Copies of this chain bind each other. A is one copy, B any other.
Amino acid sequence: MKLMEYEAKDIFVQYDIPTSTGYMVENVENLKAVLYKLGLPVILKAQVLVGGRGKAGGIKFAKTEDEAMEMANKILNMEIKGLPVKKLLVCTPSEIQKELYVGFVIDRNKKKMTLLASTEGGVDIEQVAATSPEKIQRVLIDPIIGIQEFQCRNVASKMGYKGKEMLSLATIIYKLGQIMQDKDAELIEINPLAITPNGFEALDAKLVIDDNSLFRQTEFKEDFKDSQEYTPIEIKAMEAGLAYVELDGDVGIIGCGAGLVMASLDVVNHYGGKPANFLDIGGGASAENMKKALEIINLKKGVKSIFINIFGGITKCDEIARGILEFDPSVPVYVRMMGTNEKEARKILNEKGYELYQSMQEAAKAAVKGV
């Protein structure tokens, strides 16, 4: 789960990583007290979990109280890439002399956490990686030994720093690595890490916690459902234990197993259809899972036909068939079923007038036509 900037910065503060002083506000009424504490000018930053909020007008500089109130009001009533802004981070602006990048990611191929650092901060690091890979340092961290302080000094030193500055930078990198480990993060980034007359300062913060670790990272558990990361239907699906991704087409798609559902989307697309969603009920799903899947698809507007693609391995086709009968969506349903207990399933569904297919491509074609 992605954390908001202000949440990540709260953790930075716990680890003594210097960040610009700031407070989160949820409404204009609270802003006054914050302005009293911070003084003027301030920067107002929309707290949303998508990139590009600056370009979208979600970051504003205010010199007077009136200006701040007006801008806060504006930002708190705005949507950025479809997400409503509910929170603002109000900070004292820093005098930026230079912007760096430091972060940790998981290297899937090396199977290790990797420290990334660059003197080219404040811009998209993937862009830097693509155009000038030599400007990024990469250090693999042994998953058993963990991050070591000397590794951070090596990086800070190669970034060109000396003396106390080198040591401060190394300490920031080390603490960041400790957060990555302690909090089971998938990604942690300071971009930019600014150099100011007061030393280094984390101006932005990105922190993504591994969802699979929430059983032990209990401090984040309750944040999970508040998160803006998912649409309301996606959250409903999550609560039902189903993997659901919202798309903007009109063919609803349900299948068992992530790979098969992805392939189903591709086949629908191949025949000129537009998938409305990705919905994986998983291997060995029950009738109840199937029913819930249909309910969830039904919540989505603009779905004109539904393609159900079941390959019965562990999944029993008759079980799925019974699930299909438990919910009656308002649009035509095209079912492809094969494998375990296929005959029984066929019998159950034929009785109720469902069209059944054996081939995935035939079913997909029909669903596209049915729109």
Query: What class of interface size applies to chain A in its complex with B?
Result: under 10
Residues of A within 8 A of B (CB): 144-145
Query: What is the count of identical protomers in the complex?
Result: 2
Could you jot down 2 A-B contacts, CB within 8 Å?
A: A144-B144, A144-B145
Within 8 Å CB of A145, what residues of B? Answer: 144
Determine how close the nearest CB of chain B comes to the CB of A142; give it in whole angstroms. 9
CA distance A144 to B144 in the complex (A): 7
CA distance A145 to B146 in the complex (A): 11
Determine how close the nearest CB of chain B comes to the CB of A216; give it in whole angstroms. 14
Determine how close the nearest CB of chain B comes to the CB of A338; give it in whole angstroms. 41
CA distance A144 to B145 in the complex (A): 7
Within 8 Å CB of A144, what residues of B? Answer: 144-145
Determine how close the nearest CB of chain B comes to the CB of A298; give it in whole angstroms. 46
Determine how close the nearest CB of chain B comes to the CB of A300; give it in whole angstroms. 45
Closest 2 CB pairs of A and B: A144-B144, A144-B145
> Taking CB as reference atom, which chain B residue is nearest A146?
B144
Determine how close the nearest CB of chain B comes to the CB of A116; give it in whole angstroms. 25
Determine how close the nearest CB of chain B comes to the CB of A146; give it in whole angstroms. 10
CA distance A145 to B144 in the complex (A): 7
Determine how close the nearest CB of chain B comes to the CB of A259; give it in whole angstroms. 33
CA distance A145 to B142 in the complex (A): 12
Determine how close the nearest CB of chain B comes to the CB of A144; give it in whole angstroms. 6
> Taking CB as reference atom, which chain B residue is nearest A145?
B144
